Structure formats: structure tokens, C-alpha cells
Amino acid sequence: MEVRVLEGEGNKIKILLENANPSYANALRRAMLSEVPTLAIEDVIIYENTSSLYDEILAHRLGLVPIRTDLERFNFRDSCVCGGAGCPSCTLTLTLEEEGPKVVYSHDLKSPDPELTPVEGIPIVKLGKGQRLRLEAEAVLGKGKEHAKWQPAVVGYKYYPVIEVNEKCTACGECVEACPRDLLTIKEDRVVVKNIEACTLCRACAQSCEEEAISVKGDSTRFIFTIESNGSLPALEVFRAACREISKKAEKMVSLL
């Protein structure tokens, strides 16, 4: 199996997976969604809330705020040396104290560690004049299979497109006009593909060709993954962490057998 980054960096990348099969590709997708641990707010202690939102709604919104995570520094609370009591090795404590009129954003949450902070720009609540909000929140490691708030990214994949043009092609241009992504052009009386990796396998070009000169199919041994992180982890780290989780499960299965 071979892996190559096609484009992107930071929170959004495209990866080409080769010499694989659909089962392994889907296992990777599911691992990225449900097995990669990230930080998320689990407990909220509200000392004062005179905003228009109930405490429960406010706590729910806080729980869905992505938090930058360092997997090397944090343990799961249930396996930490503190026995689940909550210590700096398993719990990140955030504080918030704001007074209106203003809109309270995710970056208003104060973290004791400048590298472990909420992702900026997410509105939490709008405070009117004189309204106050004062709370403390505890973020812990968790996995997407426990709750969606721990999912680190949106992940999808497709078969690598294979577009073939045979000798029946008359270069009439019908397929060029039909392609919704403008991927085809005519050069030297021949239909050629400009960017095959951008093809969505919609087959609009093939359906428009009366001569049946063009065919579109997917290569079931090559896959293009699109990974868009929510900011808790870089997209490439989400992929690497998923690979590590699959390796751990495979090793465990071998030991059980």
C-alpha cells in the first residue's frame, strides 16, 4: 500500500491511497471518524448565567467547540495515574467570564496552555447589556464513537477516476459541454482530460455521447481521500493517528488469535 499527499496542508488535504482495496479504504475512513482521540469539553460548572440561553443549551454548545489537541501530552481520564480524579495530564480546565453587550466567542475561553486552546471564531452566545456569563469547563480526551463532539474531521473518499476514449470518438464536443466540472477539452481532434483527479464519476460525459466513445469508471485499488479537520488536529495527523489505531487493533487481533 502506498500513500501520497496530492494537495493541501493544515486543516484540509487530499491523499491518494494506492494498492489497497475498498475494505481497507472504508476502515481508514471509519477510524478517522470514530477512533482518533481529541479534546472536547465534558463537564461545565456555571457560576453565573443571565444570558438568554438555558444552562443546558450553553453547555451543549461549549461541548461542540473544537479544542487544539496534543496527543503526546494527554491521557484518557479513565487510564490516567490520577485514577480519574482529573489532573493536568488528563484534564484541561478552561474559564470564561464575560459581560454584555457583546457576542461571546470560542476564543474567549481562557486556557492555561497557549498550545491547547479552542478554535477561534465560533459564536457561543450573545449577551445583552448587563448580562453576565461566568463558568468553568473541563475538557478531556475522547473518541468519535462515544460522541460526535470528539470527531476530529469530515472525511470522504472516492475511487480514482479512469476515463477512456476509444476510436469511435468524432470529437463532436458533446462530452466537453456535458461535463459539469469542465475537465474535458479537444486537442488535435481528440478528447483529452485536463485534471482527472477532479472527476466526480458522475458519468455525464459518457451519457451525452451517442457513439459510446467515452467511458468512466473507478479504479477499485486506488482511492482519493478528502480530509477536512475541525481544527483540533491537523488533517495529516488525523490520517496518521487513524493508521496507528488500525495497527493497534490488528496487533491485538493477532495476539487474540
Identify whether 59 is part of a domain.
yes
Do 22 and 108 sit in the same domain of this protein? no
Mean pLDDT of the chain: 92
Do 134 and 46 sit in the same domain of this protein? yes
Do 74 and 93 sit in the same domain of this protein? yes
Mean of the pLDDT values across residues 22-47? 95
Q: 204-231: per-residue pLDDT in tens?
A: 998 988 888 889 999 999 999 999 999 9
Does residue 15 have a pLDDT over 90? yes
Do 45 and 106 sit in the same domain of this protein? yes
Do 137 and 55 sit in the same domain of this protein? yes
Q: How far apart are CA 164 and CA 27, in angstroms?
A: 30
- Rounded to the nearest 10 degrees, the angle between the axes of helix 235-256 and helix 22-34 is 110
Identify whether 53 is part of a domain.
yes
Looking up residue 45, the CATH number of its domain turns out to be 2.170.120.12
Do 133 and 55 sit in the same domain of this protein? yes
Total domains in the fold of the chain: 2
Could you tell me the pTM of the whole model?
Answer: 0.87
Looking up residue 8, the CATH number of its domain turns out to be 3.30.1360.10
Do 98 and 51 sit in the same domain of this protein? yes
Q: 127-182: per-residue pLDDT in tens?
A: 999 999 999 999 999 999 999 999 999 999 999 999 998 888 888 888 888 999 88
Do 92 and 27 sit in the same domain of this protein? no
Burial label for 171, CB within 10 Å (0-12, 13-18, 19+), is middle
Identify whether 246 is part of a domain.
no
Identify whether 240 is part of a domain.
no
Do 158 and 115 sit in the same domain of this protein? no
Model confidence at 73, pLDDT cuts 50, 70, 90, reads: confident
Query: What angle is formed at CA 146 by the lines to CA 10 and CA 61, rounded to 5 degrees?
Result: 70
Q: What is the largest CA-CA distance in the chain?
A: 76
Domain range enclosing 29: 2-34+154-164+196-226
